[in-house]
């Protein structure tokens, strides 16, 4: 528990400060959002540890998850076809592969819903 509140002092991830609120109600909402973020990161950390991830802190886990990126690939069009955007995960190391499987997000991009009325390239 103390470790979690210690992490809330980190200004880069799950940070309680800086807060730019002056009314008591907005400060309370800000603290609530930070505590909920801490809870979610704790659950992710726990799930990663259960599958054998050697991560030692919340920061390293979040940095590793931040390194998993989705690339948008726009192939050259044929004369009769319109362009279609393809999504592909970039290569990652063994730990990134472990986290993809642990959080079941490897094929998440395949079922993305296309935003209505938005065309990438015509």
DSSP string, 12-66: SSS--------SHHHHHHHHHHHHHHHHHHHHHHHHHHHTT----SHHHHHHHHH
Contact 76, 121 (CB under 8 A): no
Contact 70, 54 (CB under 8 A): no
Cα separation of 16 and 5, whole Å?
Answer: 9
Q: For residue 93, give the 3-state DSSP assignment.
A: coil
Q: Which of 59, 33, 51, 42 is nearest to 101 (CA)?
A: 51
**Digit-coded pLDDT (tens) for 18-30:** 777 788 888 888 8
Task: Round the average pLDDT of the chain to a whole number and report it.
Answer: 79
Mean pLDDT on 62-76: 84
The predicted pLDDT at position 92 comes to 87
**Digit-coded pLDDT (tens) for 72-119:** 887 777 766 676 777 888 888 888 888 888 888 888 777 766 666 655
Contact 83, 120 (CB under 8 A): yes
* Domain assignments of the chain as residue spans, ordered by start: 2-111
């Amino acid at each position: 528990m103390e470790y979690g509140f210690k992490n809330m002092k980190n200004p880069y991830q799950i940070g309680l400060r800086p807060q730019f609120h002056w009314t008591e109600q907005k400060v309370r909402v800000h603290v609530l959002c930070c505590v909920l973020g801490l809870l979610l990161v704790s659950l992710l950390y726990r799930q990663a540890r259960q599958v054998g991830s050697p991560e030692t802190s919340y920061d390293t886990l979040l940095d590793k998850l931040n390194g998993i990126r989705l690339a948008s690939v726009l192939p050259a069009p044929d004369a009769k076809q319109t362009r279609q955007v393809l999504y592909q995960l970039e290569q990652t190391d063994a730990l990134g592969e472990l986290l993809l499987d642990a959080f079941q997000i490897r094929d998440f991009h395949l079922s993305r819903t296309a935003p209505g009325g938005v065309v990438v390239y015509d």
